[in-house]
């Protein structure tokens, strides 16, 4: 399936990129497309992530915290 922004319906993530993580929120290794999200550095190792279309807050991208070495976690 496809995960979309709750505010505007913009496509964000594919269920193929979803994986189990210890956080209570869904975790993804990559966005659906390059324009799915916008990012800005919030602190070292963490980027603030918003919808690429409407700017709705989506949480964070944690760098090098994915299921494999070098992968990010959204």
The DSSP line for the chain is -EEE-TTT--EEEEGGGEE--SSSS-EESS-SSTTSEEEEEEETTEEEEEETTT--EEEEEETT-SSSTT--B-
pTM, two decimals, is 0.86
Is residue 8 a part of any domain in this protein? yes
Tokens of 45: 């190792």
Is residue 37 in some structural domain?
yes
Give 8's pLDDT tier (boundaries 50, 70, 90). Answer: very high
Which is higher by pLDDT, 55 or 66? 55
Q: Which CATH number does the domain housing residue 35 bear?
A: 2.170.150.20
pLDDT digits over 20-40, tens only? 888 888 899 999 999 999 999
Domains of the chain: total? 1
Domain that holds residue 41: 2-62
Q: Among the ranges 22-26, 42-46, 52-56, 61-65, which has the highest mean pLDDT value? A: 52-56
19 in a structural domain: yes
Determine, yes or no, domain membership for 29: yes
Q: Is the pLDDT of residue 12 over 90?
A: yes
Has residue 45 been placed in a domain?
yes
């Amino acid at each position: 399936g496809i995960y979309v922004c709750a505010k505007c319906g913009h496509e964000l993530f594919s269920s193929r990129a979803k994986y189990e993580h210890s956080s209570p929120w869904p975790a993804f290794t990559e966005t659906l497309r390059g324009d799915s999200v916008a990012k800005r550095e919030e602190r070292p190792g963490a980027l603030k992530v918003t919808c690429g279309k409407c700017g709705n807050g989506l949480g964070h991208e944690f760098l090098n915290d994915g299921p494999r070495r070098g992968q990010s976690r959204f």
